[in-house]
Amino acid sequence: MLRMTHWMTHWMTYGWTTDRTTGWWLPGMLLGILLGLSAAAPGRTPPADVLFINGTVHTLDDRQPRAEAVAVRRGRIVFVGSTAEAITYRGPRTRLVDLAGAVMYPGFTDAHCHLFGIGERELTLNLEGTNTRAAFLAAVAARVAQTPKGEWIVGRGWIETFWTPPTFPTAAELDAIAPEHPVFLVRADGHASVVNTLALRQAGIDAQTPNPPGGDILRDATTGQPTGMLIDRAQDLVRRLLPRLSPEDYARAAMAGAQRELSLGWCTIHNAGSSLLETNLLRRLCRTGAIKLRVYNAAANRPAEVAALLRRGPIIGEANGRFTMRTIKAYMDGALGSRGAALLAPYADADTTGLFLTPPDELRALCRQALRAGIQIQTHAIGDRANRQVLDIYEQVFAEVPPAQRRVRDPRWRIEHAQILHPSDIPRFAQLGVIASMQPSHAISDLHFAPRRLGLERLAGAYAWRALLDGKAIIAGGSDAPVERGEPLIEFYAAVTRKDLTGFSGAGWHPEQAVSRLEALKMLTLWPAYAAFEEDLAGTIAVGKRADFTVLSADLLTIPETDILRARCLMTIIGGEVVFRAQEPTTGNSAPAGTGSGNQPGKRRAPQPHNWCRKQVGAAGRPLDAGIDHGAKQPPPQPSAIERF
């Protein structure tokens, strides 16, 4: 009987076949049709729309941790088990996907990224990979040579950490290569920018300009003149002058970002803060199928965006589960690298304790409104002072608004990043039910400068994944792309090794804070689903859940550490649809993960300037990103900037 089952499975999968013992030949196609009709007969198992067979399936379901095959009907999982059993779900119209030994996981979720920033990084001047000051300036000079005089030079991705010396660039350096172009170049973390003198002049920034609330204009210690570095809200003094992007530009950025996410194996993203225009655009792109990703969207903490969400209420599972919005993204402080993170004690390398970007009373008032309205709050907090302040505000508001007065009794509020924690605050996450939304790659990027910023003593509470998990907190793992590369394999590797991509881990970097491989996998699957109130829909491979899967070339739970970054995404599957399939490599082994871009020394690509420029609204003639399948689709929808969602 077992031998017959094996023959049937082989025939149904591969067509004409032979038994090598007897030499019998049978038409597998005919047998498959007969068995398919039998499966569809009254009283038998209804056929699946698609079968995924012959794989190694890590379900993360404790009742059945491993399987070989999955059957899908109408976008949901109807069977998990062996290939032989899965074949009974095959009907005449069932699609068969042979995993051929590849490894399937619950669909990966990036619990914190910025989709439009990812797309814009792909389509504009990308300064990642500029490992030296000279390389940075050369990349800018190359763009200047391609740009008509007077037009803005805008880019993102530089980071001075690996430069010698590791100091911020200056307006004077940019003036030497761009005297007739205003320049605005955003640091990788998005919390600081360098501009040239022409940009400063156009913005009216001089030695007498006061620092805006939540921002800092860095100045020469001798002359008091601006150096060109603008920290956090000070960037807005120049950013408001930049040519506005058109709806077409936003659509290009969103689709380029989404296509890149799919190619990396992400099935769902938590988009951390959208304007009204971005929200409207994302909803329409999801409705029309132009974006296949599932998007868990957060409104930016700005008056119009907050008012619209509070008035409209949560949007849950729109576009066949592709778009959900029930969250507001707030900011407490800035970033560690640009010294905007708010610390309890001064920085070890500067006379400052960082910045609060949102007044605590303002955040407290927002939290009261959100808790009563059933809206989730996620607050950016990096420094230990900022994290303590947010925990204090959450605790106070939870006490003021008891569960009976809440639209959602279990609010699942989040702290985004939670990078530097005072040890006494770590247990408070679990005690308050606050989710730590953390990005493992920050630890392996920041290890190159965090000891200088903090001193070794405060590193005990830095990126404290193990301590948070031991305290029964939930960690939703993400990437913070485009701040980091945004690749799930890098996030997994960072979480389990706590080493950078070269294998380096600095003194005092607390390797004991690494997590197990199973925990790292849950950080990218089950726990982000919980953070989005979707643990009954996603996060594990189980009957009844969405058929969202990530298929990789290697088993992350068993391969050597050094091989994790050499795995690659073979397929991304959403609702049972294969939305990305890797091309077969033409030569050699799979390329390491992360060869596209990033903030690690020796692993970044050279900057790739594009011909896509920031111009006035409605400007035409910009090429679309080559990675997007433009097929015979209609042009992307173009929402009005004032339309309310």
298 shares a domain with 371: yes
Per-residue pLDDT reduced to its tens digit, 251-269: 999 999 999 999 999 999 9
Name which of 434, 439, 440 is nearest 472 in CA terms.
Answer: 434
Distance CA 113, CA 118 (A): 8
Burial of 353: CB neighbours in 10 Å, binned 0-12, 13-18, 19+: middle
In this structure, of 43-57, 355-369, 577-591, the range with the lowest mean pLDDT score is 577-591
198 shares a domain with 49: no
In a domain, 157, yes or no: yes
423 shares a domain with 561: no
354 shares a domain with 472: yes
Instruction: Please provide the average confidence, as pLDDT, over all residues in the chain.
Output: 85
162 shares a domain with 94: no
Report yes or no: 391 and 332 within 8 Å, Cβ to Cβ: no
DSSP state for residue 606 in the 8-state scheme: P
Quote the percentage of the chain above a pLDDT of 70: 83
Whether 1 has a pLDDT exceeding 80, the answer reads no
According to the 3-state scheme, what is the secondary structure of 178-217?
CCCCCEEEEECCCCEEEECHHHHHHHCCCCCCCCCCCEEE
The neighbour count for residue 558, using CB atoms within 10 Å, is: 10
563 shares a domain with 498: no
Per-residue pLDDT reduced to its tens digit, 220-229: 999 999 999 9
Report yes or no: 329 and 273 within 8 Å, Cβ to Cβ: yes
In a domain, 549, yes or no: yes
CATH number at residue 568: 2.30.40.10
387 shares a domain with 500: yes
In a domain, 130, yes or no: no
Which residues constitute the domain of residue 384? 247-538
Whether 127 has a pLDDT exceeding 80, the answer reads yes
491 shares a domain with 506: yes
CATH number at residue 232: 3.10.310.70
Mean pLDDT (whole number) for 573-596: 67
406 shares a domain with 342: yes
Q: Of 215, 240, 265, which marks where a domain is finished?
A: 240
436 shares a domain with 320: yes
490 shares a domain with 453: yes
317 shares a domain with 378: yes
Distance CA 599, CA 157 (A): 8
* Strands of the 192-195 sheet, one edge to the other: 125-126, 153-158, 183-187, 192-195, 226-232, 215-219
How many domains would you assign to the chain? 3
In a domain, 175, yes or no: yes
3-state secondary structure of 324: strand
Q: What pLDDT was estimated at residue 384?
A: 98
**53 token code pair:** 């067979």
Report yes or no: 570 and 581 within 8 Å, Cβ to Cβ: yes
- pTM listed for this prediction: 0.79
